[in-house]
């Protein structure tokens, strides 16, 4: 199976999941499938101000965002680089597939420059059975190298991973309980 280009999960929605995780239940018996991790902020810092300005424009597209829960409405087009009201970088909404999306024609050069900068920050990590990778999507894009040859592998022996996404929600019941404990209140409910 082919590689997966560097990306964050769901870059094209209102509320991008802050974290994504990969739990390896079974590694690739053919030895492929290393996880790729690229530093989004370091890559953005390698670009000139004109490129960063172009990436702040809400004119980029990536895939579709339908039937997703907990992430708000689809946001297309969207900016690749998103700052807060104080000008601090909040999100780098990146997916390498944007380079091939025909809706981004005319903006490919700046996307290619960012992809090249991101490649300079990328490392490969091979995870084994039982290992968990948790990625802060505000900082890191993830991808995967190609799996090794899969033909001839018996059913139930191929790579098997579980993925989960999460966002901090201070209103979640668990956080309310922990806040109460920190404040010295007991929760006997």
Q: What is the pLDDT of residue 175?
A: 58
Confidence (pTM) = 0.86
Tell me the percentage of the chain whose pLDDT exceeds 70. 92
Q: Is 189 a residue whose pLDDT tops 60? A: no
pLDDT of residue 185: 65
CA distances to 43, 49, 90, 131, 171 from 97, rounded to whole Å, are 17, 23, 21, 27, 34
Please give the Cα distance from 126 to 107 (Å, whole number): 33
* pLDDT band, residue 188 (cuts 50/70/90): low
* pLDDT > 60? residue 13: yes
For 107-167, the three-class secondary structure string (H helix, E strand, C coil) is: CHHHHHHHHHHHHCCCEEECCCCCCEEEEECCCEEEEECCCCCCCCCCCCCCCEEEEEEEC
Pick the range with the lowest mean pLDDT from 65-69, 103-107, 159-163.
Answer: 65-69
151-169 pLDDT, tens digit per residue, is: 888 888 888 999 999 988 7
Structural domains of the chain, ranges and CATH numbers in brackets: 4-182 (3.60.130.10)
Q: Is 126 exposed, middle or buried (0-12, 13-18, 19+ CB in 10 A)?
A: middle
pLDDT of residue 117: 99
Three-state DSSP class for residue 51:
helix
Bridge partner list, 91: 82
Residue found under tokens 């969207």: 78
């Amino acid at each position: 199976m082919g590689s997966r280009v560097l990306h964050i999960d769901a870059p094209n929605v209102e509320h991008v999941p802050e974290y994504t995780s990969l739990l390896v239940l079974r590694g690739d018996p053919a030895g492929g499938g290393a996880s790729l991790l690229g530093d989004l902020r370091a890559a953005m810092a390698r670009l000139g101000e004109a490129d960063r300005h172009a990436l702040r424009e809400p004119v980029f597209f990536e895939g579709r965002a339908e039937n997703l829960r907990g992430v708000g409405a689809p946001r297309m087009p969207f900016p690749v680089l998103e700052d807060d009201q104080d000008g601090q970088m909040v999100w780098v909404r990146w997916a390498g597939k944007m380079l091939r999306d025909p809706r981004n024609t005319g903006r490919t050069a700046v996307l290619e420059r960012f992809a090249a900068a991101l490649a300079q920050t990328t490392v490969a990590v091979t995870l084994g059975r039982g290992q968990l990778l948790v990625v802060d999507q505000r900082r890191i894009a993830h991808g995967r190298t190609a799996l090794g040859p899969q033909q001839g592998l018996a059913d139930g022996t191929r790579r098997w991973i579980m993925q989960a996404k999460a966002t901090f929600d201070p209103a979640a019941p668990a956080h309310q309980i922990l806040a109460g404990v920190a404040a010295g209140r007991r929760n006997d409910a």
